A and B are shown apart, each in its own frame.
Chain A
Amino acid sequence: MAARIHVGAGAATALSTFNSKKLVAPPSRTNLPARSSKRYIVAAAGSDGSKKSLLRVRHSQKLIANAAVATKAETSATTGTGHELLLFEALQEGLEEEMDRDPHVCVMGEDVGHYGGSYKVTKGLADKFGDLRVLDTPICENAFTGMGIGAAMTGLRPVIEGMNMGFLLLAFNQISNNCGMLHYTSGGQFTIPVVIRGPGGVGRQLGAEHSQRLESYFQSIPGIQMVACSTPYNAKGLMKAAIRSENPVILFEHVLLYNLKEKIPDEEYICNLEEAEMVRPGEHITILTYSRMRYHVMQAAKTLVNKGYDPEVIDIRSLKPFDLHTIGNSVKKTHRVLIVEECMRTGGIGASLTAAINENFHDYLDAPVMCLSSQDVPTPYAGTLEEWTVVQPAQIVTAVEQLCQ
């Protein structure tokens, strides 16, 4: 993403101002400190942040095939500053910056200390901040999540790492009953500003138990927020925002996206936790996606553009709550919706999103909302089978063609 317009809480992004007359600024949220707006800068050369930079954005979209392997980002001429790094490094950078900024931020999880984390997100942090702030725990997800919650209630801001999101199923009790609830049941007396993060999603032959999509199970828990990162830019931004949030936030990373490379700004920035990201503005159809499926969608978009379609691609990023403002504006414009997700068909994010869109924007739809998901099967180990449990670009192209008839 070449042009970066850094946004603060509540402000509309220039990238989504296609139909500016329909756009109403979303209500401001107070979960980001007001003073942080000073840090937001416009990196794009276009000073008015208008359509000029928009077009530039569109041309320099990088379409990453298959999403697994790092590819060199197309660097636009506009960003002379900035530094290139991989997604896991972006997460680490965000985490390190927040730990520098606030001594209450700490990390706990398995092998996060000197080992640097199983995906190296916490690499080097134990050396810098010490064993106590980057804490290696024994193997018990429910216990260290519970520990993080207790520490948060006493004033710390823990970042709890699940080595794989699937393991956090063991922490479900603490997350649902304590993390999500105690702020409410204590009458607001105790806050739980934890970040729970880890890699999930279908990888490369990791087996069924290590290919879980936990956003399906967690989405119902009241009191928590869920976000999914997909690029180094939003990974760092969401990490920082999640740490600063007073609410418990679950940050979903994807096993196959850790080696994505991108140039991100040198200046400090934060991404809004409740905002969706406009990846590619378009007119014909709204494609809603998140995490790894974004890249499959963008690959399909390439094919679709060649076939004469103009899809609008939105990375919803905020899984709980949905950014119905951005999504709604898009639906009102295109009148067709395709959801592409990695969750299982039953009870996934797509299922909830379909319901939300139908409920809220029924009148604007020219066709039923279509949702492409994984099948309701445990992820097989065999590579060929595994590939077919995940939505592929060809299916996305077919679905768009079908919807746009």
Chain B
Amino acid sequence: LTTEHFKQTTKESMPDTVVKYEVFLPGVSGTSMGKNITLDRASTIELSCRLDKKYSHLKSLQMTWKKGNETIGHSRTDENSWSIQLSIVNNSNLGSYSCTLKGEEEFSTTFRLQVPKIEGKEKPTISYEGDTAILTCKSSGYTPIVWTWYVTNGSEQIAINDTLLPDKYVINRVSANVTYLKILKVTKEDNGVYWCEAAFELGKSMGKLHLKVLSLLEPLKPFLAIVAEVIGLVTVIFLYEVYSKKKEKCAESEKEFDQIEQLRSEEINGLENSRSRH
């Protein structure tokens, strides 16, 4: 029935770039979908809620902006729009900001300010005992200040220090947005959950990765099964061929016998005919 329109305009003015985020109201009645805003560094932003023109006839409208549950001040930019300007400098400035319009009907929407998310891998990375395992983490679009890797021991997260164990772990920052953790000479104990943490100016973000260590026997079983099946099929095919060739030979030798008989009778007939002619 009702849809929300999102508009984002960037107003670039001198050193301060104020990014504007605007949401059209009404959203879906009651709680709305809101908007997720990703920020990685300190910046100034402006959030505004604009009332849809078809509702501009409503009177006695009361607009409230809240951070979490705390009310904050705002300014009315024009007849149908209310906005707040925020200076985001540290982690505590992030969170949920909501605007609620109370009148005959209530409209509400939420802006969620957050650090960039790091995507881990849903599916486990498979490695084999004795081999090297590589876990990669990528940050899309935003450059972290520093990357840290953690391994899960029970319920604890332990940071991986590659200088301490240089022949076991190697951490390398391939490019600004990509990091990898190389685990050398993998064993069954290395099985488990790993975390890569990207530290941004405004906070930290983690990605989850699974490492699954298999022994060489695991793929060997299906391999041997398939090889056995292939050998079986080839044997069956060759045996069938030998069998059908034998059958053919029997049938052929009978045929040849008949043919020789036929040739002989033809020769005899031919001789008789030539004799009768002369």
User: Are A and B part of the same complex?
Assistant: no
Show the binding face of A for B, using Cβ within 8 Å: none
B contacts, CB < 8 Å to A? none
